[in-house]
């Protein structure tokens, strides 16, 4: 069993319960990992803020996460993220690396003017976390729209996919983890 760490980044105190729930949920899919929530008040992302865009640069935050110890490190934030080539991203990860990052900002039904739905919100959060962690285990985007590794460009695509890997990605992942874990 290898240890993965979840680092809350710029989240409200109330939000931490969601992160704890996520830490309980993820080992159902990544059964060779244990997930621990590690709080670090000193981890600041101010340097990654882009005043013009009013968003945070996900690549710069990911670079900081890569430097942290841990077999896998998943940053979870409530702030909005972007990469220079896209308007926004739900998350980002280092392909085959140790670091992944997700933002829950655009996973909230409220972001789309819909009433809050805790179950829907949490399902989306799991999907994005599994997707980004999948990249750290060398998985690429999957053409199957129901697979968690399908690229989401919009929340509709996130909702359309499951939180599990399709049979092809699953097989690939199992081959990969045999050699890494």
Active site residues: 132
Min dist CB 94 to Zn ion, Å, is 11
45 lines the binding site for Zn ion (CB under 5 A): no
Of 86 and 180, which has the nearer Cβ to Zn ion? 86
Q: What residues numbered 101-160 form the site for Zn ion, per CB under 5 A? A: 142, 144, 147, 149
Neighbours of 115 (CB within 10 A): 7
Percent of the chain that is helix, strand, coil (3-state, to 5): 40, 20, 40
Decide if 36 contacts 23 (C-beta within 8 A). Answer: yes
121: which residues sit within 8 A by CB, 6+ positions away? 104, 107, 108, 109
Annotate each residue in 153-172 with x if it binds Zn ion (CB under 5 A) or - if it does not, as one string: -------------x--x---
* Residues at the site binding Zn ion, with contacts judged by CB under 5 A: 142, 144, 147, 149, 166, 169
């Amino acid at each position: 069993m290898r240890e993965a760490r979840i680092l809350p980044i710029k989240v409200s105190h109330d939000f931490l319960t969601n992160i704890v729930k996520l830490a309980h949920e993820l080992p159902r899919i990544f059964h060779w990992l244990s997930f621990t929530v590690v709080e670090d008040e000193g981890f600041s992302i101010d340097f990654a803020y882009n005043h013009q865009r009013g968003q945070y640069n996900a690549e710069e935050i990911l670079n900081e996460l890569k430097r942290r110890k841990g077999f896998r490190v998943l940053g979870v934030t409530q702030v909005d993220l972007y990469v220079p080539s896209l308007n926004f991203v739900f998350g980002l990860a280092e392909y085959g690396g140790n670091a992944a990052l997700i933002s829950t900002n655009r996973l909230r039904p409220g972001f789309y003017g819909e009433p809050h739905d805790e179950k829907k919100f949490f399902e989306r959060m799991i999907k994005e976390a599994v997707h980004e962690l999948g990249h750290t285990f060398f998985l690429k985007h999957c053409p199957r729209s129901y697979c968690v590794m399908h690229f989401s460009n919009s929340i509709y695509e996130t909702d359309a996919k499951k939180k599990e890997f399709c049979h092809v990605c699953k097989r690939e992942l199992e081959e990969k983890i045999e050699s890494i874990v």
